[in-house]
């Protein structure tokens, strides 16, 4: 029996998925099954009750999970402490982020981090905001980067500053010819919005409601890229983070207008699972995000 087998078992217990556990550990699903079977033979106990509708640890499985988790954390802590003594920054970091941050904000800081630490492998996934939280809680991702962070007793939150949000229109729209605008002016306008469950949509709706403004939602999308394409063809106006339209504004395919009477901004944050043991590489990555991305936001 090896520590690797115990880690596979813990990952399986946390994700309740042979596929995800295999992905985390870089092995096949068959290899996961074989390692679980090996553990069951070693302890002469059934560890997992398997059925098509339910995944559940047996009492013996729960006991093994508790002790295995302690063993793995102690082993990882030893490994990380030795790396710190040697001043070694290496390993793998699993990152998940929402599309707007992953496409428009993260790449520059990723390049800087990887230039400074070429022996670190950073795997980035683009997910919906709720999936980022699910992956963090399930321990399949090390660090998440989100907007409008939600407090959860299972998650640690590291503030990364705020993004300014602006009104966007097609270049031919009358609103696109001014530098600033009052919120009341967009009352009744055709609006391209995010889907109702997305945090940015909820935040925008709250500000509009506070200003007694109603817009006509004619299209709703789950990502900023599709929102921008709809606004470019003059289907309506929208409110998005300024950083996500920098290229379009420069090319002249979109116009961006600031509000002079309302605070449309979105807070950004890095999140990770509470009590997670962070490797030196993860600590350094968080440090880069906080110092570089956070400071950049503070200047804007």
- List, as one string, the DSSP characters of 116-131: H-TTEEEEEEE--HHH
Helix (H) or strand (E) holding 134: helix 129-137
What per-residue confidence (pLDDT) applies to 147? 95
How far out from the chain centre does Cα 46 lie?
36
- Identify whether 237 is part of a domain: yes
Report the Cα–Cα distance between both ends of the chain, in Å, rounded: 54
- Identify whether 155 is part of a domain: no
What per-residue confidence (pLDDT) applies to 221? 95
Q: Which domain holds residue 200?
A: 162-266
| Full-model pTM | 0.79
Q: Lowest mean pLDDT of 39-43, 78-82, 220-224, 271-275, name the range.
A: 78-82
Instruction: Provide the percentage of residues in the chain whose pLDDT is more than 90.
Output: 72
- Identify whether 150 is part of a domain: no
Tell me: do 119 and 262 sit in the same domain. Answer: no
Question: Can you tell me the mean pLDDT for 82-109?
Answer: 88
**Is residue 294 very low, low, confident or very high in pLDDT (cuts 50, 70, 90)?**
low
What is the 8-class DSSP label of residue 293?
Answer: I
- Identify whether 78 is part of a domain: no
- Identify whether 191 is part of a domain: yes
What per-residue confidence (pLDDT) applies to 140? 87
Question: Can you tell me the mean pLDDT for 38-53?
Answer: 86
Higher pLDDT, 276 or 190: 190
Angstrom distance (rounded) from CA 140 to CA 64: 20
Q: Tell whether the model's pLDDT for residue 185 goes beyond 90.
A: yes
CATH (domain of 27)? 1.10.10.10
Mean pLDDT for all residues in the chain: 91
Q: Tell whether the model's pLDDT for residue 298 goes beyond 60.
A: no
**Is residue 78 very low, low, confident or very high in pLDDT (cuts 50, 70, 90)?**
confident
Q: Tell whether the model's pLDDT for residue 215 goes beyond 90.
A: yes
What per-residue confidence (pLDDT) applies to 82? 86
**Is residue 85 very low, low, confident or very high in pLDDT (cuts 50, 70, 90)?**
confident
Residue that finishes a domain, picked among 13, 48, 73:
73
Q: Tell whether the model's pLDDT for residue 153 goes beyond 90.
A: yes
Question: Can you tell me the mean pLDDT for 103-130?
Answer: 91
- Identify whether 53 is part of a domain: yes
Q: Tell whether the model's pLDDT for residue 297 goes beyond 70.
A: no
Contacts with 296 (C-beta within 8 Å, 6 or more apart), sequence order: 161
**Is residue 86 very low, low, confident or very high in pLDDT (cuts 50, 70, 90)?**
confident
What per-residue confidence (pLDDT) applies to 300? 54
What per-residue confidence (pLDDT) applies to 52? 64
What per-residue confidence (pLDDT) applies to 9? 93
CATH (domain of 127)? 3.40.190.10
What are the CA-CA distances from residue 282 to residues 57, 152, 225, 263 (Å)? 30, 21, 29, 33
What per-residue confidence (pLDDT) applies to 259? 95
Tell me: do 218 and 135 sit in the same domain. Answer: no
Contact predicate 125/96, CB 8 Å: yes
Tell me: do 166 and 253 sit in the same domain. Answer: yes
pLDDT tens, 247-292? 999 999 999 999 999 999 999 999 999 988 899 999 999 999 988 7
Number of domains in the chain: 3
């Amino acid at each position: 029996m090896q520590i690797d087998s115990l880690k596979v078992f813990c990952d399986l217990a946390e994700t309740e998925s042979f596929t995800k556990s295999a992905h985390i550990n870089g092995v096949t699903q068959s290899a996961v099954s074989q390692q679980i079977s090996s553990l069951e033979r070693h302890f002469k106990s059934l560890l997992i009750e398997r059925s098509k509708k339910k995944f559940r640890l047996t009492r013996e499985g729960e006991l093994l999970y508790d002790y295995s988790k302690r063993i793995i954390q102690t082993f990882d802590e030893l490994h990380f402490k030795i790396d710190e003594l040697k001043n070694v920054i290496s390993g793998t970091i699993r990152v998940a982020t929402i599309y707007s941050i992953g496409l428009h904000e993260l790449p520059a800081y990723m390049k800087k981090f990887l230039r400074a630490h070429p022996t670190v492998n950073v795997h980035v996934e683009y997910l919906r905001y709720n999936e980022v939280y699910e992956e963090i809680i399930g321990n399949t991702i090390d660090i998440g980067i989100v907007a409008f962070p939600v407090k959860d007793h299972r998650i640690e939150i590291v503030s990364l500053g705020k993004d300014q949000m602006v009104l966007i229109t097609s270049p031919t729209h009358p609103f696109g010819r001014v530098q600033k605008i009052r919120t009341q002016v967009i009352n009744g306008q055709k609006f391209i919005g995010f889907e109702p469950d997305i945090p940015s949509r909820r935040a925008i709706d709250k500000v509009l409601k506070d200003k007694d403004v109603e817009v006509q939602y004619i299209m709703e999308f789950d990502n900023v890229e599709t929102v921008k394409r709809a606004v470019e063809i003059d289907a309506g106006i929208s409110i998005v983070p300024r950083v996500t339209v920098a290229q379009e504004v420069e090319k002249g395919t979109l116009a961006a207008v600031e509000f002079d009477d309302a605070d449309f901004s979105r807070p950004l944050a890095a999140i990770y699972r509470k009590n997670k043991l962070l490797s030196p590489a993860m600590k350094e990555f968080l440090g880069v995000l906080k110092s570089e991305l956070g400071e950049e936001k503070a200047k804007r």
